[in-house]
Structure 1
Amino acid sequence: MIVITAPTGNVGRRLLPLLLDSAPARGEALRVIVRDPARLPDAVRERVEVVTGSHGDPAVVDRAFDGADAVFWLVPPDSSRTPDEAYLEFTRPAANALAAHGVGHVVGVSALGRGTPVAGRAGLVTASLAMDDLVARSGVAFRALACPSFFENLLEDADSIRDEGRFTDTVDADRKAPLVAVADIAAVAAGLLLDRSWTGTGSVPVLGPQDLSPNDLARIMTEQLGRPVRYERRAPADLRAALVGHGLDKTFVEGVVDMKRAKDDGLDAGVARTPDTATPTTFAHWAAATLRPAVLAGTR
């Protein structure tokens, strides 16, 4: 039995079809934890066992992990809570349930940066790494998928790319760093969940095919969208003010700002890309297949 948390999220909704294609043939049943089962496609809902509720709820994870051999763990974003609440406190009931039910293997989505000089002051990433330690202490065999920023983050800028030809961030325009498509994260997770010959605890970097700077992204978007796109660097103070203005928890906002500052200080640059850590989806392919339709969707 494989349990999938956050099955309707960015990674989960790409992971589920991969598991549905392979798990039944291996005699593996699938169980999902979801707040709203109606968000699952009908074809998926008919082929999985559904546990309704939040995977931060002790009663829900106790029920869902009963009889489980493996769990895919992903903490959903929650900007109404502090980083420690959003990651550690959310995960604590699951860590207890993993130990209580003797779950063998867990694959979790986490972040790069462990062991770097800035890891302890990286806001949301610091909390995510502490969450990994909490899961590892439950006694399971654990693999943390150590991910950089996602290509999909740029979908938040689709309107400004379309209307103003720009996207923003707080990092230096020429700082190269790894980026990855969520579909590639799902593929790595599926491989680990289906072949559980691994033991112990550790991280699995998921680095995408190449390092890119914001200026590189702007150039590639210009080529793929057929319109000029530029990068505009914003000050951390401006990001902080904008997020607080949207009503986000102030401590969570500081976690975002600290994470962005750490990324500008090289948080994601500490792992070498190898054939084992690289993933195939290029930014150019993603921009053409995913970003371009999102940008053009608002074109009249």
Structure 2
Amino acid sequence: MIVITTPTGQIGGRLLDTLLGEAPTHGETLRVIVRDPGKLPAATRARVDVVTGSHDDPEVIDRAFTDADAVFWLVPSAQRAPSLDAVYSGFTRAAAEAFRTHGVRHVVGVSALGRGTPVADRAGHVTASLAMDDLIASTGVSYRALANPTFMDNLLWQVASIRDHGVFTGTVTADREAPAAATRDIAAAAARLLLDRSWTGTGEVPVLGPEDLSAHDMARTISDVLGRQVRYERQSLDDFRAALEGHGTGNAIVGGYLDMARAKDDGLDDGVRRTPRTASPTTFRTWCEEVLKPAVLA
């Protein structure tokens, strides 16, 4: 039995689709934890065991982890949480206890690059995510943290600006090269680990994409794919803060985003070398052609 959290999200949804296709040939059954089962297609609901509720609720977790062999763990965003610890380790504490009591053997979690870098202890959301990894690892389960850089898919939040103004923004230096990963590759990495549970112990699985890119590189690729000029504008941290606050984001979460932005510009994502094992296949151009362009044209 594999339990999947966030089955309607960008990563969890893609993972669920993959497992629905592959799990039967591996003799696996699937269970999902979802707050609103109505967000799952009817055909999907018919093929999985559904536990309704939030996966920080001990009662929900107790029901979901009964007879579970493996768990995919991803904490949802919480823009008004009182602290970063509450978003990550706090949300995970009930599950960590349930991993022990239910004898769950394998857990795959979504985390971030940065462990071992000089800025890892002052990287906001990333620092809190790494602490969550340590909490899960302390339970004795076999754990793999998917260590991710910035998601390519984050650009989907700026579709309107790209379409209407030919601009996307960010806080990193325009010519700083860094890895970026497509969420579908992260889901694929999770599926491989969940279906082949021959691994033991704890560790990280970096998902780095096939190449390092700067914001200027991305702007050139987007422009080429869309057939019109798109440029990158660097946003000051003050403007970034104002934008977050304008969307109702709480102070603790805003501070976490600002600290993460500073750390990324200081090399947070530079600590892992790309190899055939750490590279993921989707190029930024392919992602733009298959994901961004249809979204812009929609």
Shift of 1:215: 0.3
Q: Which residue in the other structure is 1:116 paired with? A: 117
| Structure 1: gaps of 5 or more residues | none
**SS of equivalent to 1:222:** helix
Shift of 1:192: 0.3
Q: Which residue in the other structure is 2:163 paired with? A: 162
**1: distance between equivalents of 2:230 and 2:249?**
29
**2: distance between equivalents of 1:233 and 1:186?**
30
User: Is 1:106 matched up with 2:107?
Assistant: yes
Q: Which residue in the other structure is 2:35 paired with? A: 35
Write the letter of the residue equivalent to 1:11.
I
User: Is 1:70 matched up with 2:70?
Assistant: yes
Render the CA deviation track for 1:177-205: whole Å, top value 9, x for unaligned.
00000110111100000000000000000
Q: Which residue in the other structure is 1:22 paired with? A: 22
Render the CA deviation track for 1:244-263: whole Å, top value 9, x for unaligned.
12221101100001001100
User: Is 1:282 matched up with 2:279?
Assistant: no
**1: distance between equivalents of 2:245 and 2:16?**
35
Render the CA deviation track for 1:205-260: whole Å, top value 9, x for unaligned.
00001000000000000000111000000111111122112221101100001001
Write the letter of the residue equivalent to 2:272.
V
**SS of equivalent to 1:257:** helix
**SS of equivalent to 1:204:** strand
Q: Which residue in the other structure is 1:9 paired with? A: 9
**SS of equivalent to 1:23:** helix
Q: After superposition, where does 1:1-300 map in structure 2 within 5 Å? A: 1-81=1-81, 82-297=83-298
**2: distance between equivalents of 1:234 and 1:272?**
28
Render the CA deviation track for 1:12-63: whole Å, top value 9, x for unaligned.
1111121111212222110000000111111111110000000011111111
**2: distance between equivalents of 1:79 and 1:17?**
27
Write the letter of the residue equivalent to 1:237.
D
**SS of equivalent to 2:88:** helix
**2: distance between equivalents of 1:175 and 1:59?**
46
TM-score, normalised by the number of residues in structure 2: 0.99
**1: distance between equivalents of 2:291 and 2:248?**
29
TM-align CA RMSD: 0.7
Between stretches 19-28 and 7-16, larger displacement belongs to 19-28
TM-score, normalised by the number of residues in structure 1: 0.98
